[in-house]
Amino acid sequence: MKRILIILFVSVLLVNCKKDAPLTDTQILYQTVNQWVYSAMSEIYYWNTTLPSKYTTTYDNPNDYFKTLKYKDDRFSAIFESYNDIQNQLNGISSSEIGFDFQLYLESQTNSNVLGIITFVKHSTPAEKMGIKRGDMFRKINGQQLTTANYSSLINTFMDSSGSISVTFSTYQGGAFTDKTAVTVNKISNYQEDPVYMDTVYTVKAKKVGYLVYNFFANDPGDNTLKYDLELNNAFAGFKQQNISELIVDLRYNHGGMITSAIDMASMMVPGLDANKVFIYTDYNKNYTDYFNSADYKSKYSDNPFVTNFSTSLVVPVTSSASYTVQNVGNNLQRIFFITSKSTASASEMVINGLKPFLPCILVGDTTVGKNVGSTLLHDTNNTKNQWAILPIVLMYFNKDHKSDFTRGFVPDYLVDDDYSYQLGDINEARLAKAINQISGNPVAPERIPQAKRTFLKSSIDFKPIQNGLVIQSKPIERFLNRK
């Protein structure tokens, strides 16, 4: 027995005396990134009190490590491998754009085939020039039938670096699909998508009705020109000039974006616009709260980081002397119709929530996502080798009445399925038609083209890095981050 114990003891010593294997470059990078992630999250994360009390060295992939830090009820904080790519996406810039958004459904309950339906085609893209339109259906990509087993990998080819994709569109008649001849859809590089998709005015029983399709919240393409906010302002100037008395804002495909654009949009619609009128209140973690309440902060700055008011002007950052008056139509409105969907989120919900205390907001469509929190995009400015970025939740927001009770989303006043039979802006399109019917007082809806009931799988936004974003860019937060 003693001989065996001695042998075992010597073996353990030999094992322990072996030198640890050297770390790989990837492990070194991951450890550096993870340490930075923990440090940043412990300081700015809204639920930072739920984090481990100290950082423990780990070489895990930062994606996996980040998941261990998230609060159990946090559906929205995210991490990304490339800061530049995410910054571009927030500004509506796509490095490789197929030219349309879509929804994916099970083709039927009897097979595993997947069907794609175009929701809208992006302006000035090869897809638009080809005549691809809302409602078109596709079943094959690069000659392969979409199925539940392969659709993720096939759809990802829409976003890869290839210059074009073969897509097989189909028709559906008599309970069967017929494939058309495959077509080549050319992609467009570094595409700048304009969030103001459509604005027009209808006349409904002598009433002027403004209609706006707005697909994400962004100030500009990242050049500080406020290009998109100014275009939105011009759309409302047109509504004002035509003296609209009803307004329909279509946010069904709007997943969120910049809070500054949300403030600007809400300011164009609120009755009695005033720079002293409260749009939202914000709540932060203890670190932010203590700093914003400190004597040091108050001695340097006069603003109140806990309150955001409506805006009466748009000031272009690159030319601070350029200021544009907000074109407001709120005094002409007794209510606002919002078209929503299961994808309507964050900045869109902020606009709805922020306007509710001032006038009735009538929702047509489907229940929204339910995001009453905001994020800020952060990257490691001290280490160029670390290109990762995080988008953690840093605040919760409330409207003027201190209400923020929509974590399960806003339930529509009128539940209406999306209608791919008509183009956006067509007054026969189901959700728009429902809003117009309420304005006209006509209870009879236009005759619908029957659509097959299918199981929803995913939408095009689910394949993009950022989903349901409300990104905060504010001077107080910048001051907090740079205060040391």
Written as one string, the DSSP assignment of 45-78 is: -TTGGGS-SS-----S-HHHHHHHHS-TT--S-E
pLDDT band, residue 55 (cuts 50/70/90): very high
- From residue 337, alpha-carbon distances to 130, 197, 360, 384 in Å are 33, 17, 9, 47
Q: For all residues of the chain together, what is the average pLDDT? A: 91
Q: What pTM, to 2 d.p., does this model score?
A: 0.90
300: amino acid identity, one letter: K
| CA nearest to 469, candidates 458, 461, 477, 457 | 461
pLDDT band, residue 87 (cuts 50/70/90): confident
262-296 pLDDT tens trace: 999 999 999 999 999 999 999 999 999 999 999 99
Determine the average pLDDT of the residues in 147-172.
94
- Collapsing DSSP states into helix, strand and coil, what is residue 42? helix
Walk me through the domains of the chain, giving residue ranges and CATH numbers.
97-191 (2.30.42.10), 193-481 (3.90.226.10)
65: amino acid identity, one letter: Y
The answer to whether the CB of 236 falls within 8 A of the CB of 273 is no
pLDDT band, residue 94 (cuts 50/70/90): confident
Angle at CA of residue 191, ends 186 and 184, nearest 5°: 10
Is residue 317 predicted with pLDDT exceeding 50?
yes
Question: Quick one: pLDDT at residue 270?
Answer: 98
Question: Quick one: pLDDT at residue 442?
Answer: 80
- Max CA distance (Å), the chain: 104
In the chain the first and final C-alpha atoms are separated, in Å, by 64
pLDDT band, residue 465 (cuts 50/70/90): low
Q: Which helix (H) or strand (E) holds 396?
A: strand 393-398
Alpha-carbon Rg of the chain, whole angstroms?
26
Angle at CA of residue 246, ends 244 and 252, nearest 5°: 120
411-428 pLDDT tens trace: 999 999 998 999 999 999
Strands 361-365 and 336-340, bridge-based pairing: parallel
Question: Quick one: pLDDT at residue 447?
Answer: 58
The answer to whether the CB of 396 falls within 8 A of the CB of 282 is yes
Written as one string, the DSSP assignment of 350-390 is: HHHHHHTTTS-EEEEES------EEE--EE-TT-TT---EE
The answer to whether the CB of 80 falls within 8 A of the CB of 33 is no
Helix ranges (H only) for 293-340 are: 295-300
Q: In this structure, what token pair is assigned to residue 138? A: 């596709």
Question: Quick one: pLDDT at residue 466?
Answer: 63
